[in-house]
Structure 1
Amino acid sequence: MIRIRVAMLAALVATGVAVLSACGSTAGTPTAAPAGNIAPVAFQTGTASANGAPQNTGDFAAPGDTDAAEQWVELDAGSAGSLNPVVLNGKGFTLYRFDKDTPKPSKSACNGDCAKTWPPVTLKQGAKLFLNGVDQADVGFVTRDDGTMQVTLGGWPIYKFSGDTQAGQTNGQGVGGTWFGVTPEGAKAGKSQEGTDQATGVGYKTGTAKENGADLTAGDDYKGPRTDDAAMKWVQLTRGSAGGLNPIVHDGAGFTLYRFDKDSPKPPTSNCNGDCAKTWPPVLVKPGSRIFVNGVATAKIGILTRADGSRQVSIGGWPVYRFSGDKQAGDTNGEGVGGTWFAVSPTGGKVLPKGGQAPAPQSSQPSTPAGSAPGTVTLGNGSAVLDSGTNFSEPNGSSGVSGPGCVAVPRPAQVSSIKLDGGPVKLWKGPGCTGQSMVITSSVADLATIGFDKQVVSIRFGDK
């Protein structure tokens, strides 16, 4: 039986913590970071095509035109062959990692002839990086021996394979026992679980419904009520982005999927019934249905029984829904409704609006008492997910906050990790942004490492 796991966001090291020299000011200039920490590129959510990237550039550049190729790169989470999840470029070619490289610090060991067989994914200064289902927090850069700037995922340098001649091929998987497709978090990609779950009668298949020859008048593409048998023939769970939210999950018709804070992941329980379920139609299956996985790990998917006896899909234990207010593919009108509905991440977490900023510089200056001189970090007006467990887990749920200005934390005693989008922000141990404070510039997997476990009472974002 396919097991349901608790939602857990990719862990980030707590070295993204910076302490501000002034407790009350948001003025000042970012402190210089060590070489290689900040890449001079522009991050954009969505595909290169959706963002109007010029033709014959980036991933679509002519062979040998390095200047055009390094104008942009797309990182697209999905599936290829039996691998799921795995990262592809904008042209649909599988990207790989090399066991002889190192992630901490990031270092490529593939040069010379190796780099001809395994071309590194490189960018030039001022380039664009399009992210579709890949979290910006997992992206980094490393300077290669020849001075070029290579993209990394989870610290691991990433490459193409010269032996892949068509989109979707995975001929590089397992070569020499050291080359593997790369996941959105930088891990080795592996074969996705397939077959029928004997407990539910629901079948799982890697890839999209179209790739697998599904009836495209049924399933997610069905135009009638979602409770009709035809609608439940198949469901597609695709990792991607929409409306600036990334990474999220959408169905095979491109509609955003959501989760509800009043539901429970342990045990998986839906509390949206009656009129609620008309506004937020649950994603339903039945014995004999198929679920196509495209960038969403099968191990994160489960099936729960609703109050009316129907079967609902869950991700990371959280029941998932569509929103009746979304009228076309890519809409995210359900995001933040009532402060309880949010797009669902590929692990079941809630996805808050992005701050739209590149990674902030890191610093390590000691804190000083309130009233001191202006500091050296400009705060960002972004958002944060506050999780009740370490490593971005949710044993007792989670909450979200966003700027601008000083914001109260809903349940301070339930905050053990923080996932940050659009920082830096300043954490405070007192209400109204008072008391002891600390600035963080990236997500913190364990607030105990900085002395703030279950003590974040308020957070200051930027004022703009």
Structure 2
Amino acid sequence: MRQWRYALFAGVAGAMLFVTGCGGNGSDKADDVVKPAAAGVTASPSTTSSAPTGGDPSSAASLTVAKDAKLGSLVIDGLGMTLYRFDKDVPGNGTSNCNDECAKTWPPVLADDPAATSDINPDLLGTVTRADGRKQVTVGKWPLYRYSLDTKPGDVKGQNVGGVWFAAAPDGKKAGAPRPALSVVDNPKLGKILTDGQGKTLYLFTKDTPWPMKTACDATCLKKWTPSGVVTAADAKAAGLDPKVLFTFTTPNGTKQEAYNCWPAYTFNGDTEAGQTNGQNVGGVWFAIKQDITIDRGKTIPAAKGTPGTSAPSKSGSGSDSGSGSGSDKDTLDPDDLTLNSAGSGY
């Protein structure tokens, strides 16, 4: 049974230190605050059809996320119908390869200006121009379709048809398909950023210290931010990273946490669906980890620039991880300009 689920945006907190070395573990591995779209936004009359099924390619273009017992989170339209992606499309190239008879079976989702609830990162929404000049909605650069044989909300009869049609996950990936332990999402506002095996964005905390490695995320902080799991060298290579960027250290409770260029990685509990970046620039000190990482044992912070919806990180915000309280100079600087001094003790 499906259950509607809307993203909850949560605050954050924290500060505690513990020390471990950032060094011996990296070389032996072989391999905004976001403003979410308002819930319940509807498509314009020109892009909405009252018919839930059939060959009419115009469908309610307000997207949200539903849960399927087997496939997990998947994208549905404003009429509750499952939306699909087509493996023969090429994401981001501006074309759809389902036309004519194909489009009768798989009606494209049409809208000039698609909308979504907060379960879907609005930065991942877009459109491509079809051969007939109409705009088709995309998520994560994948064009979206309905299936004419789905007759009611909850149907997923189009799943795996021909081995090329799949329900779309909230980030445009295939719903229900296994994910690699480490992936890259090309976010239009933040660039190429890292995600974990559930598609959740990986973040760093600029109040942490990379050398010698310390974490400033205490027990209260950890209620909102979860240390990321360890990945392998093969995982890093598959994501386009040099395995030498990986460093592993032990958390206070004895578990292992992955770090990138000596910066510990976390996921944000406010990201409830794959592809969300609700943790970006929280308090001016939490940033998504970018794919392009300089290997210098933490001297360069691999933080993605910007807050979704703006052009750069806030330089006037506070310095606490909850977005309140006083902050140091390092908390309000452009992350790409932050470098440790030679002693590794400050900025």
> TM-score scaled to structure 1, two decimals?
0.37
Q: Compare the two structures and name the one with the higher strand fraction.
A: 1
Bigger Rg, structure 1 or 2: 1
